[in-house]
Each structure stands twice: as C-alpha cells, then as structure tokens.
Structure 1
C-alpha cells in the first residue's frame, strides 16, 4: 500500500445522522492508535500516511502518530482552507483543517513523492519556434561563486552588464556564450536590460507542494457538499464530505498509476472517486452500514466507479 488517507471523526461532541462523534479524548486517541498500528505494517517503505483533523484533536493525533511511527517519520503538516465564510458563534472563526503527513522514509520521502505541475505563465513574446517558455534569473547568490562566474556580458545594445550586487552569473562565460548562440537568453527592456534564461515546458521541474492549500485550488467543505448533493440528492446528507479535488491532489503527490490507496474511513467515497479517476487501485473501509447504503454505494455508482464488496 502506497498511501493511507485517514479522515476520522474529529470528536466534535455532536451526534450526526451517519455517525456518533462523541468520545473522551483518551478513548478517541486509543481508537486512532489501534487503527494506526494495523495500518503501519501494511504501508510500503516509500509510502505515506495522511491524517486529516481539525483543532479539537489534531495535537493528540500528532502525538499518537509520533508514538506509532516515530518522530523521524514526520514529513509535514498541511493547512487546508476548509471554509471561506465566517462563523461568528465561536471566539475565532475556524477556517482551516490540518493534514499531518508521515512516511517511513521521513524527510527523505521528498525524493519519491511527485511534485505539482509547473506549466503556468508560459509565453512566447519572441515567437520562438520551440514554443512557449518562461524566463528565470541567470544570476545566483555569490557566496559560493568562483572567479569564472564574475564577468561582464555585452547586451544587444552594446551595454556591458555585470551580475547584480551580491550575485554572480550562474554559468561560465563560455557556457553563457553557448546559450546565447542557442537562442536561450532573453534580454529584458528590448535588449538593454537584464539577461534571463529561457526555460521551455519540458525543462521545468515539478514544484514542491506548499503546506497551505487554498480552497480555490482544492475545494472546501461547501463545494464538497455541493458535489455530494449532485451525486446523491436524496435522503439525509452526509455531514462531513471532503472535496474530490482535495483527495485528487493528495493522491497525485503520494502515488503513481496502479498504486494502492487505503481509506479506512471511506464515508462519502471522495477518496475512491479520486483514486479511480487517477487510475489508482483503492480499498475503502466504512464502519457504518447506513452510510454505505445511503451514501457511499449510491455515490460510487453515480460516478461510474467499479468496486466489489466482501
């Protein structure tokens, strides 16, 4: 198993139609501990576990994760903007959830995870036949520079250009001349400004995921409920669905095609829908038979998700 995504009850103290969310903190932590101990030996050595919680128990959840997986397994905590409207009933209006990411590889997991697409803001102002490109600086911090990186470049207008103060050129003069011959250098201000390197789309490295995920990018609670209502518009609505876009991003970062994804709190089925769309195998567990019959199965069928049940 390459990915386990856990969205357990948050211990809100409420009684929902599909589940009871009222436990003592100790009992809540023990249930989570037991679940994590079962999952741990099933997780691949290069896999990851993502635990989704809110303010009520996230600090206890982090402690249980440290206990079961070890502190060295911590990778990061993601802040997800779960709502954009304001709730004036509390001292502070809650706008975010926490998603704690752990891996047996710890920080080294960055070498196997997938980055985010880096294809935005491409243009082609000089009509380069190679297609759209993005310019990046040709200078770097001078602290580790060598003598061959300090020199002047002649601009197309004949002006001699030195690297900015405190910086040096990223390449030697020989390499810079080669880039110029290849049409890889873009001069700002019509040839009288600063040289920049043209990067084409196939050369752009994927972006490291940020720890703050905005609702505009991955959806929020309101959009998740709209999705669910569109799929299963009858009966009592499941109270706490998560957006398919949120799960899609998690799965894209943490897995590759045909990898196995586990969701031990399947609920409304968002994980299964996202995994199916991305050609991942998935396995879901849902303790509530009412949730399965009223929400999960109808929604998977509405989205054309193939599945079998024991």
Structure 2
C-alpha cells in the first residue's frame, strides 16, 4: 500500500549486489529466504519480509491462522503529505478499500484473544473507525487511545496538532478483556498509599464505603457509629457496601477508617501489600511516558548516522506500552506496515516473537540495519528499561515473484 516516491527514491545498496544473487533457494509458501540478510542465532521465530503486505498476508494465512496475539498497524494516514520513503496521497475510497481488504485477513490471523492496534491521525480517523467496525464488529471495539505525539506548538496551521490516535480492537472483546495486562504501578500511584494510623500491615489508601443503592438489600441500610460517637447514615440514593454484620467485623479488624479524629465518614482501607493487579490502562498517553515523534527521530539519528531518517517513526516506548498491555513473553506480534522497524525492535527486546512486512527499500537500509544492531545489543529506546543486552536473531524473506 505504500507508494514509492520515484523523485526521492532512496539509494539502498550497502550490500554487494553479487552477494545478493547468492540467495538461498529455500521457498516456503511463496517466500524466498535471504541468507545474506538473515542475522543472529535462533532466527526461526522472527521474520522480516520484503513485499507488498497484501500478498504476504495471504501467504501467512496457511501457517499463521489464529496465531498472532497482537497486530500493530501504522498505515499511511492518507493526509496528502509527501515523505522521503513514500507518498501519502491516495483517493479516499481506494485507501479505505485497501485497508479493509488487509484488515479482513488480519482478523483471521489474530488469535481468539488477540487484539489490533491502529495508528491514525485526524485526516481519516473517523472513516477508519467506521470501516474497522464493519470488519471486527462494533462490539469488539475496545477504545481510542490519544497519544501526545509532540509537546511543542505548531504555528504554521490553524491548529497545532499535538496528538494522534490508536484505535484498539479485539477479535473477541470479552475474551480479550480477561487476558489483557495491567500496567505497573507508577511512583505517583504508589505515593497515594500512606499509613497515618501506623497499621502494621503497611501503607494503605481509603475508598468509599458506600455505593449506589439500585440493587441494595435492606440490610445495607443502617447507622454506623464512629469511635468518637458520631452517627453516619449512607447518603440519599446510596447504601453501605457491606451488610451491618459484615461492616462490624471489618471495623473490628481495623479495615475501616474514620479519619484522624475518629469522626469522619467511614471509608474502606485498601493495603498496598494486598494489591496484585497493576494500573488499568488509561486512554490518554502523555509524551513524558511514551515518548514523541521527536524522541523517535533522535533515536534513529543514533542508529543511522549516514542514512536518511524515516519521516514518521514511532517511539519505542509507545510500542512497548501496547505490547505490555496486549502480549506476554513468547507471544507472536505482527506489523504489516513496518516502516523503520520499531515494532520488531521492541518485540525483540521484550522477548516477543514477531513478523514484520514492508514493501519499501528501507526494509534493508533501515529495518535490517536496525534489527542487526538490536541483536548486537544497541542501547537506545527501551533497552535500559527492559535490561536489553542483545541476543537472538531473525530471518529475512522476500516474496517470490
């Protein structure tokens, strides 16, 4: 779906052309294995494939039906821009039709508890949402993530567009909601736990002891007398979360907080030591947490000192959060618009298996070169966060024409 820009076509050959004709005769499902561009140890699990993604997706259906736990797509946004490695200007209906054809195949490649994450901007976001609803079903739409892609002001346009979107779909939203991961507690969240009464069980935070009364029973309406003798009755339209006998037990166990002077409205103590789950993911992803386009370009500058940068890279921290929520180590990840190779780089560092597809020549100049450095232990992006030191490998394939 990428359209090569002939006027700006990138000069790619850093490899000896004679060596590249020494390609392996191995063919698997219409793919040619390139030994020269395969790298590292334990390469079988990870694949980078040069070819038109629709052709490759069709080829993958034979062996990878229901196999991918997560698919991330960063397709052309169809915003009319001209970039170094592709033109992003297609007739609207054709753009939608092309993406729809790919999404239908991707749905068949997703596991029953798998998820699809789609990056997009304002240009086509709402049309893409309606089209993706028709493929996955509105009931399987999970959420819209707002990513703060820049923190500086853009003064050349009517509005400074500081955000993009990530549409999240599940093959089966009910199944996915049961397996999706929470995020680690942040320092800010942990700081909410205090211990003002010096409880030996450690830090805690309080939550409301009353709830909406819509489905309440009679034994949830009663008066609670605080240690200081103040009587409390649930507010109008609400009831106590526990029955009276249960509430008395919790008070005796020092699980109910009445404030420092013992006169406050009763609240339930929740201890940090009892917390097993992390934070439920929110829908606004700030730049300070998941990085910006500028951060991604700075990383690429470190990786490619003599090579033209990819125009629209995503920061590794953004993709890492997606994979943290949607996958576990060993799960299989797919990116059908690989771009500069960020998804494969992050998946490799996070011990996920992956397949990346790209039609542009930058699959050699950027993706191959980047992944080679990842295998060798490069320290940019999320490397320090996940203690990445190198290892593993990948196979390189091309579509057999």
Tell me if TM exceeds 0.5: yes
Q: What secondary structure does 2:205 align onto?
A: strand
Deviation string for 1:183-202 (max 9, x for gaps)?
22222133221222111233
TM-score (norm. length: structure 2): 0.70
Query: Partners of 1:97 and 1:146 in 2: how far apart?
Result: 46
The one of 129, 151, 163 aligned to 1:62: 129
Query: Partners of 1:295 and 1:277 in 2: how far apart?
Result: 17
CA RMSD of aligned residues (A): 2.3
Is the contact between residue 83 and residue 220 of structure 1 (CA under 8 Å) also seen in structure 2?
yes
The one of 277, 282, 292 aligned to 1:220: 292
Q: Which runs of structure 2 are paired with 1:70-219 in the superposition (5 Å)? A: 70-106=137-173, 109-118=176-185, 120=189, 121-201=192-272, 202-203=274-275, 205-219=277-291
Partner residue, 1:5:
72
Deviation string for 1:11-32 (max 9, x for gaps)?
2323322223232223322332
Alignment length (residue pairs) = 309
Deviation string for 1:94-150 (max 9, x for gaps)?
122122222221466323322334561222222322222221111112232222112
Q: What secondary structure does 1:158 align onto?
A: coil
Query: Partners of 2:219 and 2:276 in 1: how far apart?
Result: 26
Query: Partners of 2:299 and 2:157 in 1: how far apart?
Result: 27
The one of 107, 115, 118 aligned to 1:48: 115
Q: How much has 1:35 moved relative to structure 2?
A: 2.2
Deviation string for 1:222-275 (max 9, x for gaps)?
222223223334321111111212111111222223211111112222222332
Deviation string for 1:20-61 (max 9, x for gaps)?
323222332233233223322111111111111111122332
The one of 255, 260, 266 aligned to 2:338: 266
Query: Partners of 2:316 and 2:149 in 1: how far apart?
Result: 13
Q: How much has 1:204 moved relative to structure 2?
A: 6.0
Residue 248 in structure 1 maps to residue 320 in structure 2: yes
Q: Structure 2: any 5+ residue segments left out of the alignment?
A: 1-67, 380-389
Partner residue, 1:229:
301
Higher relative CO (Cα under 8 Å, sequence separation at least 6) belongs to: 2
Q: What secondary structure does 2:111 align onto?
A: coil
Residue 298 in structure 1 maps to residue 369 in structure 2: yes
Partner residue, 1:281:
353
Query: Partners of 1:167 and 1:280 in 2: how far apart?
Result: 47
The worse-fitting range, judged by mean Cα deviation, of 94-103 and 204-213 is: 204-213
